Amino acid sequence: MYQIFETIVFLIIVGIVVLVVAKLFMRDLRRKYDINIGRRMFITSLIVAFLMLVLISSIFLSSKYRYSHEYYRDISSGVFLSEIFLTIPTRRTRFSVEEALLNRKSIREWRKDPVHIDDLSMILWAAYGVVENIYGWYRRTSPSAGATYPMEIYVVVGERSVATSQGFLEPGSYKYDPIRHSIKLIKKGDLRNDLYIASLDQEWVRDAPVSIVICAVHRRTTRVYGERGFRYVYMEAGHVGQNIYLMATALGLGTVAVGAFYDDVVAKIIGASSDEEPLYIFPIGVPNIRFVNSFEYIERFYGEMRGG
């Protein structure tokens, strides 16, 4: 709404400026050089000048909104109960990327242990955190078509499930704010059982101390790319998901991509707004059995495949 109002005001100002400049220019031409532009020619150039300015200003306005802090706030803000600032991301593991890839596995059985909030902080940052600020354009850990960043990340925290320096995080549904690297409490209560039922009774969703729910605001991408934007959004969910897998693995935690659930029920449980569509659930916890792989195994495998 605010954008439409600002655009109209902007266009009116542009129109007035074009008229005044054209009038002065006409008078100057007539007075100084005795050149008289015909009425039709004058109106045509006026329309062309106006259209060009509209084009330039609309490009300016759209890029201003696309990359501005307000743009993200505009869509992702909402009512929240409290905000928790997460520890600023830093080097927390000794795993290399190749070791994380080697040991990545979908984990569905967890120990009773809670997840530490600093590990959760690293996983959220890996999913969608900021890596660079280019004049208010917040580049993330995951690539995004046209830097439209359509994802909104929710975290469902169970009772005594996320350990903090003071005890445990209050159970509930939180929304990740990538720009402030904080989580905002949206709904109170242990919602894991509801999430388990909504995800077709997959026990790993009920038993994991914490679940990350990736939602998409499709129009952020489709308004730039049209129908093709839908394809881009699903691709991007995959990028975010893989980052979650790799960071969890590096931290000695486990996760599994869950795509089977009732979208509308999950949206209600986490307190998502009407334009946020849940795409993925990632239950996270300490694996019951840790998968430990080696490059020797990979060497043997490829050796056998090559008939060695």
Ligand X SMILES: Cc1cc2nc3c(=O)[nH]c(=O)nc-3n(C[C@H](O)[C@H](O)[C@H](O)COP(=O)(O)O)c2cc1C
The position carrying tokens 């400026």 is 17
Q: Could you tell me the smallest distance in angstroms from the CB atom of residue 20 to ligand X?
A: 58
Q: Which is nearer to ligand X, 103 or 148 (CB)?
A: 103
Q: Which is nearer to ligand X, 163 or 233 (CB)?
A: 233
Q: Which is nearer to ligand X, 256 or 272 (CB)?
A: 256
- The CB density around residue 285, as the number of other CB atoms within 10 Å, is 27
Would the CA dihedral through 57, 60, 66, 69 be positive or negative? Answer: negative
Report how far apart, in Å, the C-alpha atoms of 43 and of each of 16, 32, 50 are: 14, 21, 10
Q: Which is nearer to ligand X, 117 or 266 (CB)?
A: 266
H or E segment to which residue 235 belongs: helix 228-250
Q: Could you tell me the smallest distance in angstroms from the CB atom of residue 126 to ligand X?
A: 17
Q: Could you tell me the smallest distance in angstroms from the CB atom of residue 258 to ligand X?
A: 4
Q: Which is nearer to ligand X, 76 or 103 (CB)?
A: 103
Which position's Cβ is nearest ligand X? 259
Q: How far apart are the C-alpha atoms of 175 and 182, rounded to whole Å?
A: 8
Residue 39, amino acid:
R
- Residues at the contact surface with ligand X, assessed by CB under 6 A: 105-106, 108, 202, 256-260
Q: Could you tell me the smallest distance in angstroms from the CB atom of residue 280 to ligand X?
A: 7
| Helix, coil or strand: residue 102 | helix
- Contact between 151 and 241 under an 8 Å Cβ cutoff? The reply is no
Q: Could you tell me the smallest distance in angstroms from the CB atom of residue 224 to ligand X?
A: 24
- Contact between 212 and 125 under an 8 Å Cβ cutoff? The reply is no
